[in-house]
Structure 1
């Protein structure tokens, strides 16, 4: 069976904020010009929003530009930010600190970003965008001249043994004049594009964090809609970057989460366990007691900012949103910048295609130029030194951030730099194991019960989407030197070292069906031996209201 093909003007990989904003902006421009372009969006999740996870407090700046009437259209921004608190935690105490100006949320909204994307998807379809959820883009297609031709969705019905089953269906090729990659953090196709076109040749390595989140329904007497609390300090040590967020949404719901910078050094650290330990803090536990945990998820996030932005265009396409890395770390926000990048790429694509003269392999040189003239560029430039300052430790990072913000106003005559996260681990012999408490089933939980709440599901009879370049490395290198850190950095219990009954013959077991698509393994593996690729379309988590 040969793959069928579909011709379109623009194909967008990923129905997140940037991809949907790009699709909408393209159709708006078409309507203004009295022309039309065929715009297709592929989404690997079972539905739009299924794989979207963020805190989230959204700055509506880009949304204001995309839809000035978003309130009248019923956008799900229902809880205005009301109170900001920033605290430093010790094991038993909480000390309020001045709220950094970047974290002032006046005019922002506490949202479910998944629901915002579902709404954006509805707006896009109403404008004529074709959205195909459950179809994972698995391969980049190229023209004879090396330019990007489009993408192909993954084959369905391939068994674990790599052979076709009775349910086999070949993937579909989507050919486009322009392909926009909006896969989100550490996109598997984007990673290949970086290498093929050497797009990271003039920028710092990207650096990442792992964000873990739970959604709770709490006692109405404890619920304070619009309240936003961020913390630093305990339970992390002073050289590990990270902190917590706690957002009171509508309907007695509270989003609570924890972020750990993936440049942490101790291989015994477990971001999941740090999150569970954080919830036991005396300033946090009382809020959750008597409540009900209703959702769980995890996702990597870009923290490299301005100096880690790659080359954004190549013949036939461009990279937008978190695939490129536009998160403003001190703001703890990236949806507004991601959306704006998608809108600017859409404008560049429309200009290239509007008269029909652009053929396959169009180069969107106008996109990076538009970005450099936009508020996104200025915003990220001013924030560029905050995250790398924390390489010096928590208190030095806070002190430097104050100087950079208030004295230099983000325009210091230097730029601090990043290093790759996978290089940061120390050998286990140089580190102290961390004794994490057992979950109490009241406010703290184990991984498997948490994964259950993420609604994660994968077709069991399919090739593993977590692949090893060398199957010997996990034992001979990772276990021997770092005590197999993949057992701890994965927030879903995917990786286990199993042994024979006598304790011998250690080997790595990969429970791929548990994977919540956070991409942490692809990022943090010290030997870069793990390669995350897309599973069958529709597999993975289905996040409600996250």
Structure 2
């Protein structure tokens, strides 16, 4: 098929914080550069989901006058609380001095990362960056020397039978000397590039969590603007680790959420139902009762940090932000680190373009001399300590490591088991029975997906691809009772029992693009690829 070809100086895949910060920095360095950003969401910010308490240090470096420019960071954090939920009714508040320093939030802002991303998009366009929403990146393009030369955007108007429909529009080839991949967590092109260039050689396996979030309008009498609550404990049981957050945002709203590490072993666990259960704890319910849930979403989180960070530059391109894994899990923050990685990448690419080089090889030196490296290095033991030592000992270790030694202990802990390999068989695991939702504090999956504004063109190829169609029938259902029907937070995977026996049904229309299935499937049989551009959630204020 003959395709239209467009050529740019720099091509960026993904209009998130990393991609847009990189685009803006490149334009600041050289206003004449021709820069294109492609975004699979229907608009900039449509697929952005985060807590979020935002550290503004990277934003201040990029735009020192961000307040005058009207950046949507207006509510500074006022008070921190760190809490341990002992059971379904009781809790312990951790004294401020005992909490790890990484959990202190003075100088940060409670905000919508989706709205901050929209604002960054406006700044980028004002600088002359071309942004194309509703364009998914389908494949990496290589030249004869296996150097990245760009991407192929996805075809539009293809039917479920893989045949062109009347509105068919072929994808375009977008070429550039450098392509920056900023797809977010578990980017499907990032996965390919890591394999192709062996970027993770000598690194720990990457680790992930799933984050679920709701936005609520609450009674103004209960609202405490600037209050940040983090905690762990109930309802998570056994070796399941994670934590919750509740942020009092602007306009009498709170953001409430739960993050569960995807190294859990019990296949009966449902992250969605754990989250719904959490909201009934008196500590959370006291704020939500009488309120109105206005939005819901879920997203996988790349949390391996320093130990799992792959080499980020390769011939013709770079991985940046959560596509590489720059989130600082000790702080539960990734926006500022993603932006900084994009800015460092921009400087390395600018240097390479000026010197007619095909690899942004100065990136590594720039990175190791930056606060990004220092921050991630200090936090390198945080996740492995929790995974290896458990909630109590791991928490105590992290308090000591972060508080007393400032992350500079003379050794590094490692977590070498991949998350998907941790799942036990269902026959060896304790079944979990979740209470039915009450429709006031807890809800079902389908009504929640409705609040995410998720939509896909129904007559298109399924973007959740099984490498081997028989695996659900021969392995996942008999050995694990098909865990996808529980770990998916959107009801995409359903086990149907008919006259022919049990089978897996994929309701791709519900997909939130969280990519948990791509991560947690015990056989690594599910491959998430982008659907037709513009499909997926449309988060308004998340």
TM-score, length-normalised on structure 2? Answer: 0.98
**CA–CA distance in structure 1, aligned partners of residues 122 and 403 of structure 2:** 42
Output aligned runs, 1:456-475, within 5 Å: 456-475=454-473
**Once the two structures are superposed, what CA deviation does each residue of 1:187-224 show, in whole Å capped at 9, x if it has no partner?**
01111111111111121110000000000000111111
**CA–CA distance in structure 1, aligned partners of residues 492 and 403 of structure 2:** 44
Output aligned runs, 1:95-134, within 5 Å: 95-98=92-95, 99-134=99-134
Q: Does 1:400 align with 2:378?
A: no
Q: Give the match for residue 230 of structure 2.
A: 230
Q: Does 1:51 align with 2:56?
A: no
Unaligned residue ranges in structure 2 (runs of 5+): none
Q: Is the 8 A contact 2:100 2:403 kept in 1?
A: no
**CA–CA distance in structure 2, aligned partners of residues 403 and 544 of structure 1:** 40
**CA–CA distance in structure 1, aligned partners of residues 411 and 425 of structure 2:** 33
Q: Give the match for residue 316 of structure 2.
A: 316
Match among 423, 426, 435 for residue 425 of structure 1 = 423
Q: Give the match for residue 519 of structure 1.
A: 515
**CA–CA distance in structure 1, aligned partners of residues 217 and 176 of structure 2:** 45
**CA–CA distance in structure 2, aligned partners of residues 511 and 281 of structure 1:** 32
Q: Is the 8 A contact 1:238 1:394 kept in 2?
A: no
Unaligned residue ranges in structure 1 (runs of 5+): none
Q: Is the 8 A contact 1:238 1:393 kept in 2?
A: no
**CA–CA distance in structure 1, aligned partners of residues 420 and 132 of structure 2:** 34
Q: Does 1:76 align with 2:72?
A: yes
Q: Give the match for residue 265 of structure 2.
A: 265
Output aligned runs, 1:332-351, within 5 Å: 332-351=332-351
Shift of 1:106: 0.5
**Aligned Cα root-mean-square deviation (Å):** 1.0
**Once the two structures are superposed, what CA deviation does each residue of 1:407-466 show, in whole Å capped at 9, x if it has no partner?**
432112211112210000111111111110000000100000000000000001100000
Q: Give the match for residue 251 of structure 2.
A: 251
Shift of 1:238: 4.2
Local SS of the residue matching 2:412? coil
**Once the two structures are superposed, what CA deviation does each residue of 1:121-166 show, in whole Å capped at 9, x if it has no partner?**
0000000000000000111001111100100100011100011111
**Once the two structures are superposed, what CA deviation does each residue of 1:494-521 show, in whole Å capped at 9, x if it has no partner?**
00110116xx510000000000000000
**CA–CA distance in structure 1, aligned partners of residues 182 and 348 of structure 2:** 16
Local SS of the residue matching 1:307? helix
Local SS of the residue matching 2:498? coil
Q: Give the match for residue 212 of structure 1.
A: 212
**CA–CA distance in structure 1, aligned partners of residues 79 and 403 of structure 2:** 22
Output aligned runs, 1:193-204, within 5 Å: 193-204=193-204
Match among 503, 506, 509 for residue 507 of structure 1 = 503
**CA–CA distance in structure 2, aligned partners of residues 465 and 472 of structure 1:** 18
Local SS of the residue matching 1:284? helix
Q: Is the 8 A contact 2:213 2:256 kept in 1?
A: yes
Q: Is the 8 A contact 2:386 2:394 kept in 1?
A: yes
Q: Give the match for residue 161 of structure 1.
A: 161
Q: Give the match for residue 454 of structure 1.
A: 452
Q: Give the match for residue 23 of structure 1.
A: 23
Output aligned runs, 1:139-154, within 5 Å: 139-154=139-154
**CA–CA distance in structure 1, aligned partners of residues 444 and 404 of structure 2:** 45
TM-score, length-normalised on structure 1? Answer: 0.97
